[in-house]
A and B are shown apart, each in its own frame.
Chain A
Amino acid sequence: MAIVLDIGIRLAAVFVAFLTLPLIVGQMEHKGMAHMQSRLGPMHAGGFHGWAQLVADGVKFAQKEYVVPAGADRTIFGLAPAVALLPYLLVLLVIPLGPGLVGLDLGIGLFFVLAVLGVGVLGSVMAGWASANKYALLGGMRSAAQLMAYELPLVLSAASVAMAAGTLSLTGIIGAWSPWWLLAQGTGAVIFFIAGLAELHRPPFDMPVADAEIIMGPYTEYTGLRFAFFLLAEYAGIVVICGLTTVLFLGGWRGPFLDEQLGWLWTLLKVFALAFVVIWLRSSYPRLRADQLQRLAWQVLVPLALAQLALTGVLKVAVS
């Protein structure tokens, strides 16, 4: 009985985190990006500096009609938002927040995370194919091409961490982490973060949803709550990628002091600092073209990731 209660509390906590953290990141983007553009952002919803803007957006989305295009594949069209959203919920389940504060401490956590993350992108490919819309199809194809290019550096840089830590467990990796990793795994951290951004279609890698060229890419035909799910998936994705970068490269709950008691605080601070960087990059850089995107992946990130992997191997042998 105690086990069932424990599992229930853990699942509920992960679900609450899944619903609140993306909203906080979204609000941070609203306000941060606005101020980076010398604007104020939302100021009215909720009274104080528009804190309830995303709640109001959610209510608006819920009221909207669910429209399916005549030529669309109805089943796939309806499933795509769930396929895009659910993997991030599953990944959030295994990301440790503090010592012992983890939904599910999986022995092969890193393997599980990388496998499930790739599924999320399938959601936009499905949406693009099922919409019976040429813009959606173009966006879906771009999305698939981007996934192919950036999955490799993502996995290679994560493999470097796994090799350095000697374990696939995410809590084990945090246990094996030392501040020297910031130096030794620094390149890997940058590669992992950039490749993660590309997986999420975040600017400057937002070519699949480039609204100036192909309207909204795979999400062109979506309305109401299903469109909101895609948006939620994007922000949940930011939380997950920032959380993974924190866990793998920045030491997770390990902070300057009181790791045992304040671990959750250090983790959240690191995650939100990285989320700020995501927003910062979005408001600073223009969108990459298709060829620039592929060149960055194959000619810069993949060789660098391989070099990082070799460096980690050499260090591992030299130290032991």
Chain B
Amino acid sequence: MKVPGLLTGLAVTLRHLLRRSTTRQYPEVEPELPPRSRGVIALHADNCTSCMLCARECPDWCIYIDSHKEPGADGGKAHNELDRFAIDFSLCMYCGICIEVCPFDALFWAPTFAYSAYDVVELTHERDVLGTWLDAVPEPARAPIDATAAEAGAMVPDPMAVAAGRVPASRSGAAPEPVRAP
């Protein structure tokens, strides 16, 4: 007879009956995601120099960048002016290589995930939409940890980056690895 095994089976189902079920009521109850969830890629267009590194490293070739060279005012230094920056999320496989490779911190992971569409064409998002997701990007956790060090003057944001306007004032914590002052 296999009676002990049969009783164990009954005990397992009874235990699950008495336990809280794991179902999440998604549309009614928003999920509590970890703050660094990789939901969508946000663009800080002001930081972008149209260097094309992200577009070239992208395994799916789903980043579209158009730009032109703008001569500097009064014969100053010329710079690249971004005309179009779009990510096709129907192709994107969320590998995050573009974010890793961006040397100017123009791309960020945002936890927003509810941007499905009825047509694949609508999944190609232009720079204005990519920019709106920037609000959802959490502030870096590093800033408060280093706060005491920063107060002591040991740590300062990269002055070059701030001068070039690549680092927004509100987002200075997300700047490239701060240079330790000698």
Interface residues of A (CB under 8 A from B): 32, 34-40, 43, 280-281, 283-285
Contacts and interface: CB of A to CB of B under 8 A. Distances in A.
Contacts of B9: 284-285
25 contacts: A34-B21, A35-B16, A35-B21, A36-B13, A36-B14, A36-B17, A37-B16, A38-B16, A38-B21, A38-B22, A38-B23, A39-B21, A39-B22, A40-B23, A43-B25, A280-B10, A280-B13, A280-B14, A281-B10, A283-B13, A284-B9, A284-B10, A284-B13, A285-B6, A285-B9
B12 interface: yes
Contacts of A284: 9-10, 12-13
Contacts of B13: 36, 280, 283-284
Interface residues on B, range: 10 to 19
Contacts of B22: 38-39
B77 interface: no
Contacts of B16: 35-38
Nearest to B12: A284
Interface of B: 6, 9-10, 12-14, 16-17, 19, 21-23, 25
Contacts of A281: 10
Contact of B17 (A35, A40, A43, A285): A35
Pairs of residues from A and B, 6 with the lowest C-beta to C-beta distance, nearest first: A36-B13, A40-B23, A284-B9, A284-B13, A38-B21, A36-B17
A315 to B, nearest CB: 25
A44 to B, nearest CB: 10
B171 to A, nearest CB: 41
- Count chain B CB atoms within 10 A of each CB in A43, A281, A283 and give the residue with the most: A283
B4 to A, nearest CB: 14
A273 to B, nearest CB: 14
Contacts of A285: 6, 9
A40 B26 CA distance: 13
